[in-house]
């Protein structure tokens, strides 16, 4: 029997300290070893291995096509713990020959020894959280590193033989000008990473930035105006075009052949299994989330993997297909849609397609529904139409 493809996400919820904008599920553990945290990390990795064994029994028919160590900051934990998890995954499932295995790393938390171990255990893609090439902006974000610390880490990764590297950037930062953003994008593009993600800053409630910049807040250093933010978004594509990157998703750019396989599984609505604290999964159109309570997750007595499952209705699945597929430059494959749902999308969404085509937001090309450049700008508005 042919194995089914599965993408695996492993959540590592530890960071050196919390960035001021961050609402990800992660704990600040400091830069020097703390016995309390060292013990809790040990318990966490034991729990992760229990979870891998649990799903290996339930989902034996799968083959791993990608693994993504995200967080948090996976590079703050011992490389030996990451190696143990890789080993547990390899014992549990077969890996596809060219499986993409990514580890998120933050500048200042890596060294040559770590990169050597990562390479030896099969990690073949490093994703650096840089955000900005300007130290004043990094400081305002509460990041732990400078641009030069990033350059050192990046060189180290290259020298260790990593040939597939992503760099995360963030626009719309406090005090950021359009020129400063241009400079960041160019400084990163000249390094020739294979992939660049460029997201806009989102102000999240419950974070220090939420208090500073949320409703009514001005912050000490103001955010860029909406026009400047829009301009930053537009120039990203034009600068990266010049450096040989193509935009394959609203916020993601790659050199040909280096699109992120793991994220493409999400955007194509493939099966993915999230392991670790608060991780989400969706396998065979059944979705669930792990507990976000650390003590509950690490205790074999209290943890209940995948306790609350939700089966997605056809309506939910169809909407998600458009919501995720329209973010991609390739759009939504209408033939694939018809085969999966036994519904002709041209009939079901005919009037919507017509409306958006008329507004210059969408086009039907080569059997796909694709957003135009103007449609990409108004993607949320178009996607909402499919929900209704
Ligand atoms: S390093 Fe990433 S996960 Fe950690 S606090 Fe900063 S933004 Fe959040």
Q: What is the pLDDT of residues 333-382, one digit of tens each?
A: 999 999 999 999 999 999 999 999 999 999 999 999 999 999 999 999 99
Task: Look at residue 222 in the predicted model and tell me its pLDDT.
Answer: 92
Task: Look at residue 386 in the predicted model and tell me its pLDDT.
Answer: 85
Q: Residue 78 class from Cβ within 10 Å (0-12 exposed, 13-18 middle, 19+ buried)?
A: middle
What is the mean pLDDT of the segment spanning 106-134? 97
| Ligand 1, CB within 6 Å, residue ranges | 15, 18-19, 22, 24, 26, 71-73, 106, 129
Ligand 1 probe mutation, 129, 131, 199, 203, most atoms within 8 A of CB: 129
Instruction: Kindly report the average pLDDT of the chain as a whole number.
Output: 95
Write out pLDDT tens, residues 158-174: 999 999 999 999 999 99
Which protein residue has the closest C-alpha to ligand 1 atom 2? 72
Compute, in degrees rounded to 10, the torsion defined by CA atoms 211, 213, 216, 220: 100
Q: What is the DSSP string of 248-294?
A: EETTEEE-TT-S-HHHHHHHTT--EEEESTT-EEEETTEEEE----H
Tell me: pLDDT of 267 over 90: yes
pLDDT confidence band for 37 (50 / 70 / 90):
confident
Write out pLDDT tens, residues 60-116: 999 999 999 999 999 999 999 999 999 999 999 999 999 999 999 999 899 999 999
Cα 11 to middle of ligand 1, angstroms: 12
What is the mean pLDDT of the segment spanning 285-290? 95
CB 167 within 8 A of CB 196: yes
pTM of the model: 0.95
**Structural domains of the chain, ranges and CATH numbers in brackets:** 4-267 (3.20.20.70), 313-388 (1.10.10.920)
Task: Look at residue 298 in the predicted model and tell me its pLDDT.
Answer: 95
What is the mean pLDDT of the segment spanning 284-312? 90
Cα 17 to middle of ligand 1, angstroms: 8
CB 318 within 8 A of CB 383: no
What is the mean pLDDT of the segment spanning 202-226? 90
Pick from 115-119, 191-195, 306-310: least confident: 306-310
Cα 22 to middle of ligand 1, angstroms: 6
CB 219 within 8 A of CB 174: yes
Ligand 1 atom nearest 23 alpha carbon: 8
Tell me: pLDDT of 145 over 90: yes
pLDDT confidence band for 306 (50 / 70 / 90):
confident
How far is Cα 365 from Cα 262, in angstroms, rounded to an integer? 26
Residue 192 is given by DSSP the state: -
CB 331 within 8 A of CB 369: yes
pLDDT confidence band for 177 (50 / 70 / 90):
very high
Task: Look at residue 240 in the predicted model and tell me its pLDDT.
Answer: 98
Ligand 1 probe mutation, 15, 109, 201, most atoms within 8 A of CB: 15
Tokens, residue 352:
């919507």
Task: Look at residue 358 in the predicted model and tell me its pLDDT.
Answer: 96
% of the chain beyond a pLDDT of 90: 90
Task: Look at residue 302 in the predicted model and tell me its pLDDT.
Answer: 81
pLDDT confidence band for 143 (50 / 70 / 90):
very high
Tokens, residue 58:
């339930």
Tell me: pLDDT of 305 over 90: no
| Of residues 193 and 29, more confidently modeled | 193
Cα 365 to middle of ligand 1, angstroms: 39
Task: Look at residue 2 in the predicted model and tell me its pLDDT.
Answer: 78
Task: Look at residue 368 in the predicted model and tell me its pLDDT.
Answer: 96
Task: Look at residue 318 in the predicted model and tell me its pLDDT.
Answer: 94
How far is Cα 185 from Cα 136, in angstroms, rounded to an integer? 16
Write out pLDDT tens, residues 182-206: 999 999 999 999 999 999 999 999 9
Task: Look at residue 131 in the predicted model and tell me its pLDDT.
Answer: 98
Cα 39 to middle of ligand 1, angstroms: 21
């Amino acid at each position: 029997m042919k194995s089914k493809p599965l993408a695996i996400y492993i959540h590592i919820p530890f960071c050196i300290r919390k960035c001021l904008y961050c609402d990800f599920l992660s704990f600040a553990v400091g830069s020097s070893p703390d016995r309390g945290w060292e013990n809790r990390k040990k318990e966490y990795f034991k729990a992760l291995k229990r979870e891998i064994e649990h799903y290996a029994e339930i989902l034996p028919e799968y083959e791993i096509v990608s693994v993504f160590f995200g967080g948090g900051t996976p590079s703050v934990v011992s490389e030996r713990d990451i190696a143990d998890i890789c080993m547990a995954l390899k014992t549990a499932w077969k890996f596809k020959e060219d499986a993409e295995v990514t580890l998120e790393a933050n500048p200042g938390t890596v060294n040559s020894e770590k990169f050597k171990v990562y390479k030896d255990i099969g990690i073949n893609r490093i994703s650096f959280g840089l955000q900005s090439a300007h130290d004043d902006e990094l400081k305002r974000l509460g990041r732990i590193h400078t641009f030069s610390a990033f350059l050192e880490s990046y060189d180290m990764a290259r020298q260790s033989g990593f040939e597939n590297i992503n760099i995360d950037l963030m626009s719309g930062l406090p005090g950021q000008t359009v020129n400063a953003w241009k400079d960041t994008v160019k400084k990163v593009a000249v390094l020739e990473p294979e992939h660049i993600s460029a997201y806009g800053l989102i102000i999240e409630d419950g974070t220090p930035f939420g208090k500073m910049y949320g409703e009514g807040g001005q912050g000490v250093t103001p955010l860029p105006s909406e026009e400047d933010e829009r301009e930053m978004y537009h120039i990203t594509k034009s600068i990266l075009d010049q450096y040989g990157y193509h935009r394959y998703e609203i916020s993601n750019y790659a050199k040909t052949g280096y699109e992120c396989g793991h994220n493409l599984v999400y955007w194509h609505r493939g099966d993915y299994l999230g392991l670790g604290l608060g991780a989400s999964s969706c396998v065979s159109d059944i979705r669930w989330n792990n507990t976000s309570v650390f003590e509950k997750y690490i205790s074999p007595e209290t943890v209940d993997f995948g306790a609350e499952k939700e089966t997605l209705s056809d309506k939910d699945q169809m909407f998600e297909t458009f919501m995720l597929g329209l973010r991609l430059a390739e759009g939504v494959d209408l033939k694939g849609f018809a085969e999966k749902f036994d519904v002709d999308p041209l009939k079901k969404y005919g009037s919507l397609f017509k409306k958006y085509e008329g507004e210059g937001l969408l086009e039907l090309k080569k059997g796909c529904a694709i957003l135009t450049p103007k449609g990409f700008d108004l993607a949320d508005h178009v996607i909402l139409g499919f929900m209704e």
